[in-house]
Structure 1
């Protein structure tokens, strides 16, 4: 699952190539005229046509992505489909990295051909680093609701879901509220997907706990208090959950996005998914292009692919809700069977605004470690 490994591990894995690339490689795509043009392109019009963009991207021949686990919202199939469709090799670095690790890697590897070309980020990390993004409006930009994109295309929401509790019903009682997780039956069993100061899923998990305990998107303190109580009860399990830890039974209760927890239902007998009616926290991830992308044309082609009907339906296949879903339903281009199979969520969705997210992130930065560790 996404957002785990620290930058230390990332740099260790990339150390040989990173050290060899301390100076920009002679064949760096940004040194060419075509690369420079691609790096400043803000829409398909700057290339002339989709065929021209494809040609420029295939000339670069590579795309660097980071923090995209194959089992996260169907990214494995998305990556393989893109590679089969275009003559471009995708270099996928540290799939289990957190959103903040993506930004750290871009800083560490800036000026080399190993830097990430694109980002897939949680809201709080994305909004804190918009100066690193290259504005680009994909061909389907007008079909994306205004509230889910930067007006210039510096960032665009891509896919989303609801925060949930996944649990092995053969090991713990039925979960009917977050309050249940404080009971003795859950001792040492409740895991949160990441550190909420660095990972989008964990951040939204704390928001869910806050709303369920009398807080709101304007007040995340009750959520921090809930996890402090969970720790004091001995129920909080300080293990970052993955498909492997779930399937082995190491993390029998996981607070994570519904599309990730739902994917485990097909693998683990008795795995159930609960979205609290009193706290249906919805959220989208943020897609952006690294302004210093070593493969700027490939980065823009990747965005075009992700926001095409094909790319959006591939996220839907992973159980996530694509940002263009409404427009695709109206146009008849969505995979209706997959769309109809999405779990029904009751209650009024809570989607924190950018301003609320920034305020909550600041509170977490000051208080999470002191309260939970």
Structure 2
């Protein structure tokens, strides 16, 4: 669990892509020395193909990532697999920061070799920072549904999960409905993964409370009202959950993405009887977004990372964590999906809400206006 994270249905979504002019890939962009300018490359074609991109990335030798905890959607294994495959060192900085803090780090470290090369962001932060991203279309571009990506590749969905409730079954009863969390059994025990005005995972927790309380994607006020009730009941725990707080029993109930709560169960096996449940009724989720820092100090490695993220190998690693990868439908059709992992995760619920960019922006504005007052004593 970390403070950083914002599920979408696997069905077609009504997402309006940002209207930007696509960059031409008809000729390789060249720097003053005649070599490929990796910072302006919009596909592997600009390097003469994937082998050329690999060569350029290996010459850089490093990749800087940020806000990628090892236990988040299998990023520990994904990073290790990338390093092994390409012999490129991955420098993973500040794994527990929020999506907003990723962008702040990029701006503050602009021009430095420590700046992040790539981002993994919640949708609200992504839509607010389009100028921070470089367009890039991976080789698997056509496998990714149109509504899952910005038309030039400024951002592309990578994986999603369901908003869930993780709980220590030795400390509390399994919640079967949202209002159970208002009961005395949950006194001082219910934590949200971060500040919903900053972290996508926390915002999604409020969205879930909204749709479970009569609200909609166009009206999340019932979700804010629920957390106000939770706080007045003395049940809201304003502690950012981590593996350590779960292991110690400090955060016995955590509202977070399903893949995070599932990972917590694996990590704490033998220490905590950690269970994960998705409440019946409407489910909520939102894909995270991959994007390349326009000021990436290792621009070729950043682009190779994108290619790897959308490969069968990495997409199946997402799936193995309990997350649904964006290329899932194409992989099922091609027979390249990890069938055991898919069976373990199960089908996504039919009754699921995905917030559109417009709805996300409105919800973000309302949270900024009302969240602090709602949880104040």
Task: Give the TM-score normalised by the residue count of structure 2.
Answer: 0.89
- Check the 8 A contact 2:99/2:198 in 1, yes or no: yes
More helix by share: 1
- Check the 8 A contact 1:278/1:347 in 2, yes or no: no
Q: 1:340 maps to which residue?
A: 343
In 1, Cα distance between the equivalents of 2:332 and 2:191?
36
Pick aligned residue for 2:301 from 292, 298, 303: 298
How far did residue 31 of structure 1 move? 9.2
How far did residue 366 of structure 1 move? 1.2
Deviations 1:30-84 (A, max 9, x none): 9985887101001111111111000100111111100000010110111111111
Q: Alpha carbon RMSD of aligned pairs, Å?
A: 1.8
- Taking the TM superposition and a 5 Å limit, the aligned residue runs for 1:272-311 are 272-311=275-314
In 2, Cα distance between the equivalents of 1:247 and 1:362?
35
Q: 2:215 maps to which residue?
A: 215
- Check the 8 A contact 1:35/1:296 in 2, yes or no: no
- Check the 8 A contact 2:176/2:280 in 1, yes or no: no
In 2, Cα distance between the equivalents of 1:366 and 1:320?
31
- Check the 8 A contact 2:64/2:118 in 1, yes or no: yes
Q: Return closer, same or farther for 1:322/1:130 CA change in 2, 3 Å cut-off.
A: same
In 2, Cα distance between the equivalents of 1:262 and 1:233?
28
Q: 1:316 maps to which residue?
A: 319
Indicate yes or no: 2:265 matched with 1:265. yes
Deviations 1:288-316 (A, max 9, x none): 00001011000000000000111111111
How far did residue 246 of structure 1 move? 1.0
- Taking the TM superposition and a 5 Å limit, the aligned residue runs for 1:27-38 are 33=33, 37-38=37-38
Q: Secondary structure at the match of 2:237?
A: coil
In 2, Cα distance between the equivalents of 1:97 and 1:71?
14
Indicate yes or no: 2:359 matched with 1:349. no
In 2, Cα distance between the equivalents of 1:36 and 1:370?
52
- Taking the TM superposition and a 5 Å limit, the aligned residue runs for 1:196-211 are 196-211=196-211
Q: Secondary structure at the match of 1:172?
A: coil
Gaps of 5+ in 2: 6-29
In 2, Cα distance between the equivalents of 1:4 and 1:345?
23
Q: 1:188 maps to which residue?
A: 188
In 1, Cα distance between the equivalents of 2:309 and 2:114?
22
